[in-house]
Chains A and B, each alone.
Chain A
Amino acid sequence: MRTLELTVNNHPGVMSHVCGLFARRSFNVEGILCMPVGDGRRSRIWLRVNEDARLEQMIKQLQKLEDVLAVRPHGADHAVFVGLEEFFRA
Chain B
Amino acid sequence: MRRGLRPGDLVSGIAALVALFALLPVGFVIWITIQTGWETATALVFRPRVGELLVNTVLLEACTIPLTIILAVALAWLTERTDLPGARIWSWLAVAPLAVPAFVHSYAWVSLAPGLHGLFAGVLVSVIAYFPFLYLPVSAQLRRLDPAIEDAATSLGLGPWAVFRRVVLPQLRLAICGGSLLIGLHLLAEYGLFVMIRFDTFTTAIVDQFQSAYNGPAANMLAGVLVVCCLFLLGLEILIRGNERYARVGSGAARMAIKRRLGPATWLCLLLPAVTTALALGVPFVTLTRWLVAGGAEIWRWPAISAALVQTFALALAGAALTTLAAAPMAWLSVRAPGRLQRILEGCYYYVGSLPGVVIALALVTVTVRVALPLYQTFATVLMAYMLMFLPRALIGLRTSIAQAPVELERVAMALGRTPFQAVCQTTMRLAAPGVAASMALVGLGITTELTATLMLAPNGTRTLATEFWSLTSEIDYAAAAPYALMMVLWSLPLTVMLYAQSKRAAGR
To the question of whether A and B form a pair in one complex, the answer is: no
